[in-house]
Structure 1
Amino acid sequence: MPLFDVIGLFVVILMLLALVSWGLTRWVARRVEGEVPAQGRYVDLPSVRLHVVEQGEGTPVILLHGLGGQLNHFTYALVERLEGFRVLAVDRPGMGYSAWRNEETADLAFQARCIAELIREERLERPLLVGHSLGGALALRIALDYPELVGGLVLLAPLIRVQPIPGAFRMIAIRSAWLRKAVASTFGIPLSILSARRTLRRIFAPQTPPRDFAHRGGALLGLRPASFSTLSLELSQLNDPMPAMFERYSELNMPIGVLVGEADNLLDPERHGISLAGIVSVTALKRLPGEGHMLPITRPEACAELVRHVAEAVTSHDRVSDRE
């Protein structure tokens, strides 16, 4: 067969595969949103439309999830343990059921501005920010850029500095906007479905992913083009702001609690989290032997205990500040 005929046949097959993948992707997205619907309400802000689940009364607490996640990571087990707090679990921009208004960006400064807008819109008085993984980096960025709006930080297996992207994820860290959207609309979701079990095992290791995590934990929501595109975008920009942020951590002057799993194989607990205590004054630093990365799911009571501890420290810190 002549070379041009071979190339032509290959192109036709590729186009057919792309068309089939596009149809499958749209069907999966509709099915997923039917099985894991939005739980909360929407808050329309100047920069973004945020999906928020709110529960309880008391000291305000904002829960910020990590890379590729959604607020279901907190509603799974942590929110119900935070009695006595006004808890707002938030889908970060582009994830879960939150959506950008204009430009899509994973820039932490932009996301910090969005949460600052939420704090002002909801009239939250210096809330605690609870950030897991990349959500920890976001919590730190909010505290750096808007310290007057933040009472304290609770960092759960946080990202705090430059982190090499694991080999398995490099192929989806796509900087080109058109290519990212093309992959998200065609091959991205079928490939994600094929690798889902392996990915979840790695994220939870050495623990085992709960059987109901796909629905109750919201994992199915990642099987949508918008979620895949945001994940790809965040991976491609993951390290961009970290060097400058790391240089600013000494500016932090508020109660900070850190919780890490000593067996976390995604973010080294010594490098991310524990080392923060050598830069700023940390109110509480707790290590969980044998625990991995997904602490809000696997150790929700330990997370809730740290939130309560830091909340008490904020009260004491404010009393001292008032006397001064």
Structure 2
Amino acid sequence: MSLSLRLSLVFLAVIILVPLALAIATHLRARAIEARFPNIGSLTDIGGFSLNALHIPAGPEADLPPIVFIHGASGNLRDQAGAFLDPLRGRAELLFVDRPGHGYSERGGPENDTPDGQANAIAKLMDKKGIKRAVIVGHSFGGAITASFAVLHPEKVEGLVFLAAATHPWPGGVDWYYHLASAPVIGPLFCHTLALHAGMMRLDAATHHVFAPNPRSQTYVEETGPALVLRPSSFRANATDVAGLHDYVTTFSPRYREIDKPTVVITGDSDEIVLEEIHSRGLARDIAGSELVWIENLGHKPDYVVTDIAIAAIETVAGIKRDLQAMARAIEPVLAASRVEPGGKAPSLQAGQ
């Protein structure tokens, strides 16, 4: 056998065996992630595919209408449940949803590649659960779904709360790996070989960055399971969501002016993930009568960092009088004192919305 032929065979073996080994390792690590973060919700067939959700009944002395929580990109229902389940348990019927393709929900068809399709899916889930009207709470990417839901299903909306929402067209784009992972052919190959391993290396630092400049709880990763998004199908679904968001909101955001439900928009002035001047101010401009709660030294996680204000916002849209602006002014010195600057103890790397 000639040297050139031997080299060709070695090269061929490498290009076959290395991706195969990475794919096997990805499969094993994905199963380990699921074992570490098992499903805490239940699957409901909504017609052609199933959505997963954690459904908590109201207590006998509930004082709030039903509440539906919609998580952001790279998330799952554990994220919002970790912030709101304990403080709201008993006060209302609660529905924490795994968006299509995230957590333990099935992806469904291509209609779920955009926020309007996901909003329709959540509306069907509400019907299945017997929830006629609810306060809809959306964090980050979930804000685009929340706004779409309000336009498409106003009869199901009691009120709206937006938390660091991503809802309007913005300058620039998104990180390269979203486009790669959502591309035909090469996208699935990337998701099944490299994405999970690279993501696990960045996970701790990336979640610190999502909270920045506010400190992240040391137990957040273990309690909320962000590693679930690194499984191949979830990673590709998430990438498809994020890669298509700009085009979607460019087309759909003019319809936000149709929204006439009680609305509170909560944002920080130090969000390193979305541009609050565009998204949150845009919502406050487009939705007549909405209240913008602008909090200095707050980053992208008002759900965790100012949970009391987020709950007060839910109370506000439900008709309970709360002074959200006074609450915001009171927390700002606390946030300033605990602020983590670049180069501080909390590591910081780019993450998704």
Same fold (TM over 0.5): yes
Alpha-carbon offset, residue 15 of structure 1? 2.7
CA distance in 2, matches of 1:135, 1:176: 23
Say whether the 8 Å CA contact 1:259–1:273 is kept in structure 2.
yes
Q: 1:206 aligns with which of 213, 217, 226?
A: 213
Paired with 1:243 and 1:189, the residues of 2 have a C-alpha distance of 31
Question: What is the one-letter code of the residue matched to 2:130?
Answer: R
Cα distance in 2 for residues equivalent to 1:191 and 1:6:
29
Residue 207 of structure 1 and its aligned partner are, at CA, apart by 2.1
Choose the corresponding residue for 1:180, options 179, 187, 193: 187
**Is 2:205 aligned against 1:190?**
no
Aligned to 1:159: 166
The equivalences for 1:107-186 within 5 A come to: 107-163=114-170, 169-174=175-180, 175-186=182-193
User: CA offset at residue 266 of structure 1?
Assistant: 0.9
Shift of 1:200: 1.8
Match of 2:75 among 69, 75, 93: 69
2:58 is the alignment partner of 1:51: no
Q: What is residue 228 of structure 2 aligned with on the other side?
A: 221
Structure 1 distance, partners of 2:3, 2:300, is 53
Q: Residues of 2 paired with 1:159 and 1:308: CA distance? A: 23
Distance 1:250 1:102, change over 3 A: closer
What fraction of aligned residue pairs are identical, expressed as a percent? 26
Question: Structure 1 segments of 4 or more deviating over 3 A?
Answer: 1-12, 101-105, 163-167
SS at match of 1:233: helix
Aligned residue number for residue 25 of structure 2:
24
Question: RMSD value over aligned CA atoms?
Answer: 2.3
Task: Give the count of matched residue pairs.
Answer: 313
Residue identity in the other structure for 1:76: G
- In 2, the alpha carbon distance for the partners of 1:241 and 1:177 equals 20
When normalised by structure 2's length, the TM-score is 0.82
CA distance in 1, matches of 2:199, 2:217: 19
Per-residue CA deviations over 1:220-269 (Å, capped at 9, x if unaligned) read: 21231122111221122121211222211111111111100111011111
1:313 offset after TM fit, Å?
6.6
Q: 1:277 to 1:235 in 2, by over 3 A?
A: closer
Give 3-state SS (helix, strand or coil) of 1:281's partner. coil
SS of residue paired to 1:214: helix
Aligned amino acid, residue 25 of structure 1: T
2:29 matched to 1:15? Answer: no
Match of 2:269 among 259, 262, 268: 262
Q: Report the CA distance between 1:165 and its aligned residue.
A: 6.2
TM-score (structure 1 length as normaliser) = 0.89
> How far 1:274 sits from its partner (Å)?
2.1
Unaligned runs of at least 5 residues, structure 1: 315-324
CA distance in structure 1 between the partners assigned to 2:262 and 2:79 by the alignment? 24
